[in-house]
Amino acid sequence: MKLELYPPQEPLSPLGQAYQARIMALGEGVQGHEAAYGDDPYQSLAVFPAIDPSGDVLVFLHGGGWTSGYKEWMYFMAPALTAAGVTLVSAGYRLAPGHVFPAGFEDAADAVAWVYRHIEAHGGDPQRIFVGGHSAGGHYAALLAVSSAWRQARALPSDVLRGCLPVSGVYRFGEGSGLNVRPRFLGIGDEAQVDAAASPMQRIERAACPPFLITHGTRDFPHLITQAQQMQAALLAAGVPVQAHVLEGADHFDASVACGDPSSEWPALAAAWMHRIRKP
């Protein structure tokens, strides 16, 4: 879908505009198999089958501060990952302020459910689904990985996710988060209750939680670097296997670009990490 065909969303900052131009240029000409998992145009995804499938499937969620972004932003990641045997699924979700938490999270869960039921037709293994995302997408990915109620609600196996690969993600809201402004996607109501419900760091269920590969850049937003370190510690304390990867010299946007750059360490690292994660 062309970006102009989507319903309007929040305007991007100058940094966001530069990022969009950069990744859309990198993804120019990359085509996937598009599908809808809901009625809203944002409830859609694109599948990029691996060239020589390993069976591993990565469902990746775009960033954009929960108020902007498109699944098309992540198309540029496909060539490097599919060449490494990974089937990539880039999934969109409804955005704030029109749709507040947990709408976007529920969409991400529905996208995973669609993948579980349809990915075999695209050469992927429904027993080898991983979830990841950049920034806001990393937040939703982490929340999917640490919690289980959404799986039961969709009649999915408790171990439907084999691992989680958040990049520059957000893992905590409210006091101590380092966020200067409470994100609008959290909506109104009992702020403490909503903040806790939306915070992956406060939702870790050991029995449901797969291994994590947590990535950020050395020049990322300082509060996100701190949160990544805190999330790693919280997961380890809960007995969840974690590997941390730091992208030298990368800022918040460079970290996203690295996910599709064949000369970067991330695509090969992610593919090898997923391949090593096996069912108990």
- Identify whether the C-beta of residue 81 lies closer than 8 Å to the C-beta of residue 46: no
Q: What is the DSSP letter of 31?
A: -
Among the listed residues 157, 91, 88, the one whose alpha carbon sits nearest the alpha carbon of residue 124: 88
Q: How many residues in total does the chain contain?
A: 280
- Identify whether the C-beta of residue 97 lies closer than 8 Å to the C-beta of residue 65: no
208 — phi, psi (to 5°)? -95, -15
- pTM comes to 0.97
**Where does 34-276 sit in CATH, by number?**
3.40.50.1820
Q: What is the DSSP letter of 86?
A: P
The one-digit pLDDT tens for each residue of the chain (280 residues) are 789 999 999 999 999 999 999 999 999 999 999 999 999 999 999 999 999 999 999 999 999 999 999 999 999 999 999 999 999 999 999 999 999 999 999 999 999 999 999 999 999 999 999 999 999 999 999 999 999 999 999 999 999 999 999 999 999 999 999 999 999 999 988 999 999 999 999 999 999 999 999 999 999 999 999 999 999 999 999 999 999 999 999 999 999 999 999 999 999 999 999 999 975 4
Task: Report domain extents, the chain.
Answer: 34-276
Q: How many CB atoms lie within 10 A of CB 104?
A: 25
CA dist 125 and 5 (Å) reads 32
- Identify whether the C-beta of residue 259 lies closer than 8 Å to the C-beta of residue 165: no
